[in-house]
Structure 1
Amino acid sequence: MTVTSANDAAQSRRSEPRLAERLERVDHEAEARAVWWRRFGFWFPVAVYAISRIYVLIAGILLAKGQIALPIGLERIRISYPLPADPGYLAAMTNWDGQWYRVIAEEGYPRVLPRVGHGGIDMNPWAFFPVFPLTVGAIMTVTGLPFVVVGPVLSTLVGFAAMFLLFKLIDQAVGRWEAIVAVVATCFYIASPVFSAAYTESAALLLVVAILLLLRARRYWWVAVLLVVLALTRNVVIAMVPVIIAHAVVRWRQGDEGPHPVRFRWGMVALAAWAGVLTLLWPTIVSVVTQTPDAYNQTMLAWNIQTKVKLYMWWNLLYTYWGVVGQGLGILAVAAFTWFMLSKHSWRWGPEIWGWAGAYPGYILLVTSTTPSRVRYALLAFPMTLIIAWFLKLRWWSRWRYWILGAIVIVGAIQMWWWLENYLVIKNLADDLYP
């Protein structure tokens, strides 16, 4: 090879990352003038999500053929609505918690809590938050459609809105490349088939992203309203407290508190306190309606779930799987994440995304149990995808980043198939595997 050709090849390699950067450079004003459905910020997240949902539909149709019959009276699982073997895609998408949501949608919540032989409270619908099932029930009443249609379809449709807003949030706050990675990685995450099931993940993600967008836009009254809706959708509203504090602190440090800084500070204190108090909203409603003190916590005990700090469970889990080496790796992982969160790499996300990126994983470690559901809970930890985006922009990988992102899609699709087959679809009752 001649010196000239070698230089040309080197120049070509150097130009590839710059070409990718030019493709990701956005003229937001020009895009805003385009017809809404032709804007990249609309069609890209919608298209990626649609492709992932078509894949889940095909996989679900095929895998549902292997589901066993589920009659009432099984020992290892509560069945309120019996299903035959090979019940079809939509019915399979209402497995597990979906049956509880169906009870709420069709019958509502019981006024009297069911008791078991020793006097404790038995499993009952009050363990499940009301926004999703009551919305499904209202649509069923209006349309006459059954739960097995409305539940999965509504969850899937809400996911479209969630992905659109997720792309918008990341695109505005961080950048176009990061928004692309966030949507792709979330749509093809191992537990993302749950977006198509009668579960609350789609609604919860939509609400979390909407609150972060509204907080960035300083629409604080709307934030207060959506915090109530979130508190009645999933028990994660407490994680919004650090987000609000981070938003307030950054505005204070930047001298951007508006014409009435004292009023702003007290308003932020009130908003953070509001998010904290809303954690008690659903437990209070349960106790008042059933006239039973501590009814929610007692109901959760029926699933052996205790509402207290559970960090020790994760510590024990690491030791059970990998011994002392696993615990050491766990400490290193937390230390590495802490370093990243305290570095300039994460500060550019903005205080809202940065606050959620730290608060929600902390919430998972401190509050949730080490059940298989922890994989599903991680869907709301979408800022973790920004670490992937940052890593792929490092100079060692930058020229290959789109190829690596494509590989992430392929690996994710394989994992989604496995998760759907082994967790959501019920093929046997020998294992304690549930979504």
Structure 2
Amino acid sequence: MSASPTPQSLFSRLPRPCQVLAVWAAASTLTFLILRLGAQDTPATPWGGAAPSWEEHMRFWDAGWYNRIIEEGYPAQLPLGADGRVTQNAWAFMPLLSGLASLLNWTGWSFYVRAAIVSILASAGAAVVMDRLLSPATGRRASLWAVALIWSSPCAAVLQVPYAESLGLVMVGLTLWQASRGRALAAIPFAVAACFARPVGVPLGAALGLWWAWEVVGARGWLPPGWFSRLVPEHGLQRPGERTRLLALALTTCAAALTWPVIAWLFTGRQDAYTATETSWRGADLAPFAPWLTRLGDWVGPHLGLVLLAVVLVAAGLLLSAPALRGLGPAAWFWCLGYLLYLLAFFDPTTSVLRLLLPLAPVGWALVAAAGTTRRRLALLAVCIAGQLVWVSWVWDLGSVSIRWVP
């Protein structure tokens, strides 16, 4: 008589997407429970009363801006403060999330419920796509650990609320996956969609362009063999046609990244409508790299701010040169490079930094690969869940009272 199959063997027989979705569902359910438990300790906020219901909890922070896009549209005239500067308005938020939520109008549910459903579905899709992209490099078992890690990370709650992070992640993942398979032209719709989901078009276009340049340099033998081999992944595209299609994808992505600012300009008549709106949250003009010096100086003082910036740069360099990250292949590595350069150039390092690190999801796969043993992976998972408890409580919930900690 044959032995009864164990739960582990039954799980291994499931189709791969079902395995990934099972891990994603377990991690997302834990996050949901943390959100609901945290809500019970939340006092009254501008978005709801004390101990908000699930729907009231979905209204927190920037979710309301996506609802305004539906109810009011984008302003034809930019709002100005007493000092003549542009104030916060809907042009800072891309239209894809609101547009997809509108497709569910037939349900009769509120915008926040519909937008949360879109976010959750995109979150599930992102888990499957990232696994397809990265599991060949890390192994199937390690990739499942990485899904658990990313979807239990400190800001994982953002992947199931009316924010566009899930949409941005799945579209970037689809773009990189198709491009890594030599199907760059098939990736174009996903890259364009990413540009209208989150402001990721600039780093995505830069990443694809740098990847193309590296492939060309390697194919033409312009560098000695092994040069930069300890920093940059091996070349992945062998045929000239693949490199040409990658260039077309990069150029299309860059053009799509400029489309939203151009639309804002044409709609409002102001050339800097988009950038002026984005920088209204920081109260200063767009000045590449300068916010890091200013903000870090605010945190630890002008002199130590320079030291902290040096530490950040060293940490970024160590991350990019890590063998585990390079081992993920050029698509993931150049995406991490492009996104880190983008953050360093344009990001105002506030407490939103943890949320804005979510697109660096491939780092989770690298961490799992480097950890190696189950004990170390469990330790990483425990740290992520502990960070999630702190983030949900102090940022998403209690941050709404003092507006000191911004998600």
User: Which band: TM-score by shorter chain?
Assistant: 0.7 to 0.9
**Does residue 295 in structure 1 map to residue 273 in structure 2?**
yes
Cα offset, 1:406, TM superposition: 1.5
Taking structure 2 as the reference length, the TM-score comes to: 0.83
Match of 1:362 in 2: 341
Change beyond 3 A, Cα 1:37–1:379: farther
Are the structure 2 counterparts of residues 299 and 242 from structure 1 closer, same or farther at C-alpha, using a change threshold of 3 Å? closer
Structure 1, 335-344 or 237-246: larger mean CA deviation: 335-344
Aligned match for 1:85, one of 50, 53, 59? 50
1:243 and 1:355 in contact (8 A); partners too: yes
For 2:128, which of 164, 184, 191 is the aligned residue? 164
Do the aligned partners of residues 328 and 115 (structure 1) sit closer, same or farther apart at CA in structure 2, a change above 3 Å counting? closer
**1:108 match:** 73
Task: Give 1 or 2 for the bigger CA radius of gyration.
Answer: 1
How big is the shift at 1:106?
3.1
Counterpart Cα distance in 2 of 1:195 and 1:344: 28
Matches within 5 A, 1:193-342: 193-249=157-213, 251-252=215-216, 253=218, 257-258=238-239, 261=240, 266-304=244-282, 308-318=286-296, 321=299, 327-328=306-307, 330-331=309-310, 334-335=313-314, 337-338=316-317, 341-342=320-321
Query: What 5-or-longer segments of structure 2 have no aligned partner?
Result: 1-8, 221-236
Distance in 1 separating the partners of 2:288 and 2:209? 24
Q: What percentage of aligned pairs have identical amino acids?
A: 23
Deviations 1:294-339 (A, max 9, x none): 2212222432365735434334554555566675465355346435
Q: Which of 43, 46, 51 is 1:68 aligned to?
A: 43
Of 38, 47, 55 in structure 1, the residue corresponding to residue 30 of structure 2 is: 55
Aligned-residue offset at 1:152? 1.8
Change (3 A) 1:70 1:219: same
Q: Shift in Å at residue 85 of structure 1?
A: 2.8
Name the aligned partner's letter for residue 433 of structure 1: W
Is the 8 Å Cα contact of residues 94 and 151 (structure 1) preserved in structure 2? no
Q: Over residues 22-81 of structure 1, what are the superposed CA-to-partner deviations in whole Å (9 max), with x where a residue is unaligned?
A: xxxxxxxxx9xx999812x3233212221222222222222223333345xxxxxxxxxx
Tell me the secondary structure at the aligned position of residue 233 of structure 1.
Answer: coil
CA distance in 1, matches of 2:366, 2:305: 22
Match of 1:421 among 385, 393, 400: 393
Query: Which has the higher mean CA deviation after the structures are superposed, 120-129 or 210-219?
Result: 120-129
Q: Does 1:46 align with 2:16?
A: no
* Shift in Å, 1:379: 0.6
Distance 2:401 2:298 in 1: 23
The size of the alignment, in residue pairs, is 381
Partner of 2:352: 373
- Report the Cα distance in structure 2 between the residues aligned to 1:167 and 1:265, rounded to whole angstroms: 24
Q: Aligned partners of 1:407 and 1:36: how far apart in 2?
A: 24
Residues 1:306 and 1:241: Cα distance change in structure 2 (over 3 Å): farther
- Aligned 8 A contact 2:182 2:242 in 1: no
Tell me the distance in 1 between the aligned counterparts of 2:176 and 2:90: 30
Q: What one-letter code is carried by the residue in structure 2 that aligns with 1:223?
A: A
Contact 1:45 1:167 in 2 (8 A): yes
TM-score using structure 1 length: 0.78
